[in-house]
Structure 1
């Protein structure tokens, strides 16, 4: 079967790279094997736990680490069938962080309250650390003490070091196809000397890393090289949503980097905050409406999903006659929604 590719290139959040994002693409993949390509500094712990479970349930997912990977994504990958990393990957495990924000002047009583709050925060962080450390230990066979020591160092591991610890199953060499001109084109675009061809022998492996290092060394051997040649500034207009938020045409990209001002960061932060609030408001409104609908009847409440609830309501409404003259109980003949909507299974008084 053809391998299905999913990319997770960024932080794990509630609305971006979330459990729903991963579930959607896993559903699209069906029973096909999946390769989840990841480069991420981590993110939301709860979302990462859910994603790990989704990978486990699929049963045939390979996580492929690219570039820098840290925090939640490192153990999120444990739900996969196999974990691989390229040789130039860096991998980081660290102790968890919780938000702490105190500002102002406090009297003795207020300070005591803040101390208690900090103690609660500390206990929360310790609980998270224990959960995460156990995940690392269960997967690698290392002791909790060894894992805590590594997390306390907050040390970036190379791909080979991550494999030695047992976090990665295989390290992928950066071997290049000599018939491909992609790397050469990239170096030319950056103003660098062409990537040299390295002959494979018993002393030096023909890998991407070795060839790039040799290419960079060539810069310093060339007396005619100047900085203006290395730095290539272009205008990038592809980030349409960000451009719209900042009311700009595009970003100047120099050396594959974009520089933002503090004011621009404030604008982006405000936009993200407002978007998050709108999402929360929409969720609250939806949940409130759903609660009101469920309150109509047990039949509606117990329906499997929204479509089933609508069908249940439609069935109940169809049972309500416009008017009924003198029923068997001697009533006035007017039946309401609640009369019809009661779950007959729970109407023991009519048995």
Structure 2
């Protein structure tokens, strides 16, 4: 029975298939051949390239494929010195792809900008396809054009076909090897990633594929992306600033990925200073640690602002309560009389007579003078 130093499985870039575990295992066995068991339908190209490079630098690495292996999982093995494969295992290569999400009303200028951005993504994908095809061609010792054509076809290869192409060196029949079995969960994952579903037996005694058409199942899986309820935390922690991440690393889709609407989130985009988001095949939106910290700082600042406003509101409410108490106290106090005010006003009026009073005073003075003379 083969003893493996490392088992890489699941999503490439996830917890069970990452560069850190590979580097740690290789470092722990600097002078020995490291045996690695791989069982994965793909994931991030960036992680696959890193692992392939690590295998190449170590030198003595043996990769063994079991189950269904596709996309980035196959790329990760290219740096190994020796590659073997179960007789019952499957192998798939295909062209790079990027999830396209756009839901907006655009004028002619905006449409042109969007077309230009798609043209740029297309050029990047073509460059990546050529690079990956060159890696496959070097491994298989076949023309670059042949591998590029095979990637465009994107069909599953049996172990025998994979060996004929030169992807693997040996085919094994180990008693402990488990033949790949199809499950509903795996079929849904493959359909969501636009990877062809192979004709292999279904688990639990099922030998036929579901009667529901593949397109219907794919659309149902695609609709599930809008809930974003099945995010992979490891995928969300990846760095979208990596040159081949977030646009070119999505190796689990075909080039004909339909344009799927995505709800715009202007507040989050403004906080992170990005123009939209590009989810990967699993519906996850990768964020860097710096972006997560930016969100944390923004939320903290908003909570502080809300707390300050609540304190100000409390102070105002307390002041209103005090003023209301003063008003009630004033209402309960007996009112002052206004006689003094009236008397003062009367005095002022006497001190400042009007014209009629002055005329009458002059008449009286003249009369008194007349009486004295006469």
Aligned to 1:78, the other structure's residue is in SS state helix
Q: Which residue of 2 aligns with 1:256?
A: none
| Candidates 229, 249, 254, aligned match of 1:267 | 229
- What CA distance in whole angstroms lies between the structure 1 residues aligned with 2:35 and 2:28? 13
- What CA distance in whole angstroms lies between the structure 1 residues aligned with 2:31 and 2:288? 34
Q: Which residue of 1 aligns with 2:341?
A: none
1:175-186 aligned at under 5 Å gives the runs 175=175
Q: Which residue of 1 aligns with 2:77?
A: 77
Q: Which residue of 1 aligns with 2:100?
A: 100
Q: Which runs of 5 or more structure 2 residues have no equivalent in the other structure? A: 180-199, 207-222, 239-284, 294-374
Q: Which residue of 2 aligns with 1:53?
A: 53
Structure 1 pair 60–265 and aligned structure 2 pair: CA distance change class (3 A):
farther
| Contact 2:11/2:40 (<8 A) preserved | yes
1:256-295 aligned at under 5 Å gives the runs 266-269=228-231, 280-281=288-289
| Contact 2:42/2:70 (<8 A) preserved | yes
| C-alpha displacement of 1:108 | 0.7
| Contact 1:163/1:169 (<8 A) preserved | yes
Structure 1 pair 6–272 and aligned structure 2 pair: CA distance change class (3 A):
closer
Task: Please provide the CA RMSD for this pair.
Answer: 3.7
1:187-336 aligned at under 5 Å gives the runs 266-269=228-231, 280-281=288-289
Q: Which runs of 5 or more structure 1 residues have no equivalent in the other structure? A: 184-211, 217-228, 232-260, 286-351
| C-alpha displacement of 1:63 | 0.3
Aligned to 1:40, the other structure's residue is in SS state strand
- What CA distance in whole angstroms lies between the structure 1 residues aligned with 2:112 and 2:225? 37
| C-alpha displacement of 1:32 | 2.4
Identify which of structures 1 and 2 has the higher relative contact order when contacts are C-alpha pairs closer than 8 Å and 6+ apart.
2
Structure 1 pair 102–161 and aligned structure 2 pair: CA distance change class (3 A):
same
| Contact 2:14/2:232 (<8 A) preserved | no
Aligned to 1:38, the other structure's residue is in SS state strand
Residue by residue over 1:237-276, the C-alpha shift from the partner in whole angstroms, topping out at 9 and shown as x without a partner, is xxxxxxxxxxxxxxxxxxxxxxxx9599743328667766
Aligned to 1:157, the other structure's residue is in SS state strand
Q: Which residue of 1 aligns with 2:122?
A: 122
Residue by residue over 1:266-306, the C-alpha shift from the partner in whole angstroms, topping out at 9 and shown as x without a partner, is 43328667766998336987xxxxxxxxxxxxxxxxxxxxx
Deviates more, 1:148-157 or 1:273-282: 273-282
Q: Which residue of 1 aligns with 2:213?
A: none
| Contact 1:9/1:38 (<8 A) preserved | yes
Structure 1 pair 5–271 and aligned structure 2 pair: CA distance change class (3 A):
closer
- What CA distance in whole angstroms lies between the structure 1 residues aligned with 2:3 and 2:235? 37
- What CA distance in whole angstroms lies between the structure 2 residues aligned with 1:279 and 1:159? 37
Aligned to 2:105, the other structure's residue is in SS state coil
Deviates more, 1:159-168 or 1:95-104: 95-104
| Contact 1:3/1:34 (<8 A) preserved | no
Structure 1 pair 69–273 and aligned structure 2 pair: CA distance change class (3 A):
closer
For normalisation by structure 2, the TM-score amounts to: 0.49
- What CA distance in whole angstroms lies between the structure 1 residues aligned with 2:134 and 2:89? 24
The number of residue pairs the alignment matches comes to: 211
Structure 1 pair 92–11 and aligned structure 2 pair: CA distance change class (3 A):
same
| Contact 1:4/1:33 (<8 A) preserved | no
Structure 1 pair 63–120 and aligned structure 2 pair: CA distance change class (3 A):
same
- What CA distance in whole angstroms lies between the structure 1 residues aligned with 2:234 and 2:18? 16
Structure 1 pair 49–262 and aligned structure 2 pair: CA distance change class (3 A):
closer
| Contact 1:4/1:29 (<8 A) preserved | no
For normalisation by structure 1, the TM-score amounts to: 0.52
| Contact 2:15/2:234 (<8 A) preserved | no
